[in-house]
Amino acid sequence: MEGSRSPHRIPLPRIRARRVEMTIVSSASADSVLVVGATGRVGRLIVRELSDKGLKAKCLARKPEDDNSKYLKTLPGVRVVEGDVTDAVSVRRAMDGCTKCIACFGAARIVKLSDFWRNGEAECAHPKSVNYRGVLNLIEAAKDTPDFEKFIRVTGLSVGVLNR
């Protein structure tokens, strides 16, 4: 059919970027904010914003010696701790002393057709392991953390993942 759109393609609305004022904690708070996914593009912006506001940030990183982690360590009030969101023990250790958490991580692996029939939890980098199990680990750790107040999950459209 000439001139008609495919019924399977839904046009996405154009989204204009806007600055969102972060009001997660007051600058008088001595508590740390755990940022998971801090070495990613959005995570680095979040950590820099927290640091600029004089807040303490603890960043969970799989590779604390890579360039992004080294950059985060240069920011005032920022500490990088080694761990993986799929490892419940390292998540609990990272959550210690934090009353808030911003989770802006996601699986950076391309989804494969075989993902529909394979057990995703068997593979550490599988989106189910990272996105589902990772959030579950954070929620469980937050429930066991005294005085925990706020959990924020930042997600996206996986823009750019298929272009790799």
Banded pLDDT at 163 (limits 50, 70, 90): very low
- Asked if the model's pLDDT at residue 68 lies above 70, the reply is yes
Tokens in use for 136? 């579950």
What is this structure's pTM? Answer: 0.74
Pick the CATH number of 32-153 from 3.40.50.300, 3.40.50.720, 3.80.10.10, 3.40.640.10: 3.40.50.720
Q: Which residues contact 36 (CB under 8 A, 6 or more apart)?
A: 43, 59, 60, 85, 91, 94, 101, 102, 103, 104, 105, 134, 138
Any idea where the domains of the chain sit in the sequence?
32-153
Helix (H) or strand (E) holding 61: strand 56-61
- Asked if the model's pLDDT at residue 96 lies above 80, the reply is yes
Contact indicator for 93, 63 with CB cutoff of 8 Å:
no
Tokens in use for 150? 């706020």
Question: How far apart (Å, rounded) are the C-alpha atoms in residues 161 and 149?
Answer: 33
Query: Across the chain, what does the average pLDDT equal?
Result: 80
Helix (H) or strand (E) holding 50: helix 41-52
pLDDT reported for residue 30? 53
Of 91, 80, 98, the closest CA to residue 43 belongs to 80
pLDDT reported for residue 117? 73
pLDDT reported for residue 130? 84
Q: Which residues contact 91 (CB under 8 A, 6 or more apart)?
A: 36, 60, 83, 85, 134, 137, 138, 141
